[in-house]
Amino acid sequence: MKQICTITDRYEDADPNDLVSFSVMCLPWSGKRFKGLRTVSTRAELEGFLPERHVVAGVADQLTHLGFEVFDPQARFKTPIAIPQPIVSARGRVALFERKFGVQLEKLIRTRMRAGAKSTTSVAIVLGRGSRRPSLKRLTGAARIVLPRPPVSEATVVPPDLGGFSLHLPGDVALVTRASAIHRLRTPTGDRATGAGVTVAVVDSGFSKHPYFRHHGYQITRVAAPDTNHPERDPRGHGTKVLANLLACAPDVHAYGIKATVDRVLAFSVAMSIPGVRVISISFGYRPTEAPADLEFLILFAVLYLGITVVVAAGDGPLPNFPALMDQVIAVGGVHVSPGGKKGVSPESSSFTFGGRRVPDFCGLSSGLLLPNAGPSPDWDISHGTSFAAPQVAGVAALLLQKNQGLTPHQIRSVIKKTATDITFGTSASGHKARHGNDLATGRGLVNALRAWRRV
């Protein structure tokens, strides 16, 4: 049964003392314009959009001099990456921002409703409707100032009508994705094939210390982005569930949970800065018209320049979703399992074509999952959404990297696509029917970790 999700935006005057987060994209050394960024497909092409090190440092110094707080996403880690990140993240009071950059700001309250019940509410300080872009006169070396908007795509915990049937963690998820079959094998070095030695980051709403994680002995480092705190607190209960799905497929990875606010760009910057990180999982999305240019830039930087595999939920609903529409990411749709064991595309899983890009690439499990609840009394509830399929695939990617550390993001996506299990039943939220072979509803089908592992 489909549960229609509606999004309502309401605007209010921003309080002059409210804090506004933003990022500054610095001028590329080559003089290129960022309008050509979406066509970038190689590291060599991306290099033309990167700023020089002294330009990034200069923008940060100028922002500090203007009275803004500048964030260092690498400060949390003892061994920062050698390559400086190409944007500068900062925040300051609304009044200061308006005065220095000559704009009017508003408060955006975004509410998501599903099945007649309020799902989530996000608040962000954004450019006023009709306001011009922030002036760059006070920032030498700046190309663009970007303010974050709330994502529109995040899974909910409203259960579909499955008659009480659910898949349990970790066993059912690991079994159906065939990850558990790998856990019994050994890597070429003799280690158990469980993801040990691979670092995976999840960017989300927080990560509670549910007893489930402790009982399984998972290796988890919880980190708050610089604009928030208490990463073990998960007010939405979303990140806790996402993390549990990652660890069901790759129980021995070193998992970093990066707690994010509305400013997901800053949290992604922190994830990129983790020493040795190989995979980043994202379970949120934006309308293509609201796609954050700074996040797109950082994802390209992570994949093409740093070799990090970025796994993204395709989304829940009929509309295209960013960053799943990016060619460089692994876009994951959703499959459900019926009480009789039949597998079909989730009726809420997004499927679309955008600029020639077909989404999803393939699927994970997304419906009827019994997942740990982050509430004050640790409990469990049935949840659904491609948000939970994406971290499963991130876990499978970690298993492949444990076997062959030299795999590139492109190779990981390619091998999982070639070995996925065909899904021929059901219709996606976009109205696309699953058929034999590669189709728009499920891509190549359901991830088959064992086949992929054997192919590597």
Quote the CA–CA distance of 444 and 456 in Å, as a whole number: 18
Q: Is the dihedral of CA 289, 48, 297, 19 positive or negative?
A: negative
pLDDT in tens, 55-101: 999 999 999 999 999 999 888 886 655 567 899 999 999 999 999 99
pLDDT in tens, 234-269: 988 899 999 999 999 999 999 999 999 989 999 999
Domain spans, the chain: 5-146, 167-455
Judged against a pLDDT cut of 50, whether residue 130 lies above it is answered with yes
Q: pTM (2 decimals)?
A: 0.94
What is the band of 160 on the pLDDT scale with cuts at 50, 70, 90?
A: very low
pLDDT in tens, 165-201: 788 999 999 999 999 999 999 998 999 999 999 999 9
Judged against a pLDDT cut of 60, whether residue 159 lies above it is answered with no
Q: Is 164 exposed, middle or buried, given 0-12, 13-18 or 19+ CB atoms closer than 10 A?
A: exposed
DSSP classification of residue 303: I
Judged against a pLDDT cut of 60, whether residue 155 lies above it is answered with no
Question: What is the pLDDT, as a whole number, of residue 322?
Answer: 96
Cα dihedral 99, 100, 102, 103 in deg (nearest 10): -80
Right CATH number for 167-455 from 3.40.50.200, 3.90.1520.10, 1.10.1610.10, 3.40.1260.10? 3.40.50.200
Residue type, 338: S
- H or E segment and range at residue 13: strand 5-13
Question: What is the pLDDT, as a whole number, of residue 264?
Answer: 94
Judged against a pLDDT cut of 90, whether residue 377 lies above it is answered with no
- Residues whose CB falls within 8 Å of the CB of residue 232, separated by 6 or more in sequence, listed in order: 206, 207, 208, 209, 222
pLDDT, the chain, mean: 91
User: What percent of the chain clears pLDDT 70, i.e. is strictly above it?
Assistant: 93
Per-residue buried b or exposed e for 191-214, using 16+ beta carbons within 10 Å of the residue's own CB: eebbbbbbbbbbbbbbbbbbebbe
Distances (CA, A) of 325 to 289, 359, 361: 12, 7, 10
Mean pLDDT computed over 149-165: 60
What is the band of 158 on the pLDDT scale with cuts at 50, 70, 90?
A: very low
DSSP classification of residue 305: I
- H or E segment and range at residue 123: strand 117-127
Q: Is 225 exposed, middle or buried, given 0-12, 13-18 or 19+ CB atoms closer than 10 A?
A: buried
